[in-house]
Structure formats: C-alpha cells, structure tokens
Amino acid sequence: MSAPEVRGWCPGAWRPMMSGDGLVVRVRPMLGRISAAQALGLADLAERYGSGGIEVTARANLQLRGVSEDNFPKVIAGLDALGLLPGSAETEARRNLVLDPFLPEGHMAEGWARALFDALASEVFARLPGKFGFVIDPGPCLRRLAGISGDIRIEAGATGLILRADGCAAGLAVTPDTATDAALGLCRWFLDSGGVGADGRGRMARHLASGAALPQALRGDGPPAPAAPDPQPGPTVSGLCVAAAFGQFTADALRHLAAQDRTLRVTPFRMLFVPDVPDIPAHPDLILDPADPILRIEACTGAPGCPQASVTTRDVARRLAPQVPEAARWHVSGCAKGCAFPRAADLTLVGRAGAFDLVTGGTPWDDPLRRGLPPMDLNDSFRP
C-alpha cells in the first residue's frame, strides 16, 4: 500500500478539498463565533447540500462534508447570505486564527484578533502557508490553548503577556498595545528568512529547528504561564460546553443549540461553547457528561468518506469506546497520517490494506506492535 498523501494546505470555503464523500467545505467564523441565525442556516445547508453533519475542527473551524460539485455554488451563496464568507479565496487561507473561546465578551483580545485578520489580507503575507496559524491565549493566569497548534502565539506569560514563536521555550514581553504589531513583525521575519519552502510549505517550529535564528528584537526570556486542563463537556463558570461524538454535530443538534438564542463559540477542543447558559434540554446527539466513554476515543472520517482510508473507523470506535479505561485515550485512524489525533495515544489502531495495525503508546506513524487485525475482530471481546 502506498504512503498516505500529505497535503500542504487545508480546505476552506472558497477552496474546498475533494474527499471520498464529496467536497469538504471549511468555514472560518469571525472570532470563532456564530449567531443562532447562522447556526440554523448552517444546519439547513448541511442537510440540503451535504452529508447532514457539521464538524468542529481542532482549529476552531466548522466543516460541511459530502458537498457535490454541482451544489458547491449553492453552498457558497448560502454562506455568503449568512455572513460567513469574510474575505476572498486569496485571503481566507492565511487567516488562521484561534482565539480563546472562553474569554469574557468584549475582551481586548477580540481587537487583536480583528487587527490580525485585517492585516493578513495584505499581499505582504500572500506567501504564508495554508497551515500556518496564530493562537491568541491571553490568560492571565493559565493558558487554555497550550495544546492547540499555532506558529505565532500571543499568550499569557509567567509575569505578563508574551509573544512566542512556536518552537521557542520563552517569548518576548509585549503589551496589549504592541502585541499585534509584534506578531506581524514575527510573521514577516518568518517569510523573509526563508520559512517557506519551494513547495509552499513551512512551519515556525521546523524553521527554527533547521537553524534559523530569531533577531534580537523578537527574542525574549519570558516563560509561558502554566497550561490549564483541557475543558470538558458540561457547565463552566461562564456557560456550557457541548460535545458530539467525534466532533460531528448533526443538523438537528445544531438547531437544538440555536434554540437557546445565544451566540455559539466554536472551540478548538471540537466542542461548542454556549455562554451564559448553565444547562440545556437533553438531545440524543449531544454530550454533556465528561464521563461519556465516546470522549475517550478519537476517530477520523475513515472509508469511504476519505479516499486515503481503506477501513471504516467510527463504527469500530463506537464498539470499542466502552472498553477504554477512564484515564486513557485510544485512537482509530484510517491511515498513518492520524488526522484526527496526530500525536501519541495509549492505543492506536491504524488502517492499512483493509485491516488494522496496533500501536501502543505511540502515534499512527510509529512501528506497530501487531499487524493485520481484521476489523471484525475489533469488538466487545477485543483485548490489546
């Protein structure tokens, strides 16, 4: 079997990606927020022109799957009518921003995000790779987005706000007034110093690891603040976190949330956050219990939705979920790319040539402990 194809870009709305079940159309809501009306409109578009589900990604975006090429213009028109198409096909790919979704309404970090969003439309940043991103995580005491991928980070430091390049242990002290200009300066340095390869790809940590040295003006010795635990489904001090199996919300579940008449915040934890709401009526497709075993296992789309997968994944994951120990994380991956969970898990099943390889304590691309497990053997009696 050939190696899975690694693409150097992510889908967008204007530039969708073809998959096994049709086009994947990714929506990047401004500030990671959608109104109740926008949620209702997305549910209608997913049901009418897609597979009926809306995925929440690890970059705090939303995805519609299964869109045919004939229906794609109708989806674009629908997104435009909903106000979910900021920018153009040329600018959307480089506006990868993740803002802490749990900040109070009106926090100054919203202004930083808007300033970055506007500045990144400039042709100065036209060469930014499609996977290059910014994380805004101001704390002040803990970093809620410490585990979220990002190349340039405006985040809480141990003694104040810092700007940190991914791959550096410490960051430059900045103020609310200087943070965005400093971030854009770091971005320009990345481009000017050869951070983007001939293939158009590039990431900050890789660039620094290859020997590139930050200029003195962009260096700092401020350590980042400690990381907060990842949020869990259920009530928080400021609202309600709502999950769905594998981050895929049905259209009906999204309508149920929209009925709360609140702006929904899209989180990079594959959940939606409903501010100022302590509870909602139960819905079979929504998860509010952090102890639900389905939350302990990750699974990508798998076959036939993904052309690089030779196995179905989510049906296997559902069967195995009750066996996952409470403190463990398992992963069912359709191929060795590991898109759903690109890091080590306690147990990983990797699809290959219609069967599964078993990796323990590693990533999908690590050497397996066992090979060729038939999918029918992965049932209630399965033992690693």
214 pLDDT higher than 80: yes
What does the pLDDT read at residue 1? 36
Distances (CA, A) of 119 to 28, 226, 325: 16, 30, 46
Q: How far apart are CA 354 and CA 312, in angstroms?
A: 9
What does the pLDDT read at residue 95? 87
92: confidence class by pLDDT, cuts 50, 70, 90: confident
pLDDT tens digits for range 300-327: 999 998 989 999 999 999 999 999 999 9
4 pLDDT higher than 70: no
383: confidence class by pLDDT, cuts 50, 70, 90: confident
Average pLDDT rounded to a whole number, residues 183-194: 98
What does the pLDDT read at residue 382? 81
Mean pLDDT, all residues of the chain: 94
216 pLDDT higher than 60: yes
3-state secondary structure the chain: CCCCCCCCCCCCCCCCEEECCEEEEEECCHHHEECHHHHHHHHHHHHHHCCCEEEECCCCCEEEEEECCCCHHHHHHHHHHCCCCCCCCCCHHHCCEEECCCCCCCCHHHHHHHHHHHHCCCHHHCCCCCCCCEEEECCCCCECCCCCCCCEEEEEECCCEEEEECCCCCEEECCCCCHHHHHHHHHHHHHHCCCCCCCCCCCHHHHHHCCCCCCHHHCCCECECCECCCCCCEECCCEEEEECHHHEEEHHHHHHHHCCCCCEEECCCCCEEEECCCCCCCCCCCECCCCCHHHHEEECCCCCCCCCCCCCCHHHHHHHHHHCCCCCCEEEECCCCCCCCCCCEEEEEEEECCEEEEEEEECCCCCCCEEEECHHHCCCCCCC
What structural domains and CATH numbers belong to the chain?
17-86+236-287 (3.90.480.10), 103-218 (no CATH), 293-373 (3.30.413.10)
Average pLDDT rounded to a whole number, residues 167-181: 98
Q: Which residue has the higher pLDDT, 236 or 2?
A: 236
What does the pLDDT read at residue 260? 92
What does the pLDDT read at residue 11? 85
- Nearest CA to 350 among 130, 340, 28? 340
pLDDT tens digits for range 35-52: 999 999 999 999 999 999
What does the pLDDT read at residue 6? 46
227 pLDDT higher than 60: yes
Q: How far apart are CA 228 and CA 155, in angstroms?
A: 13
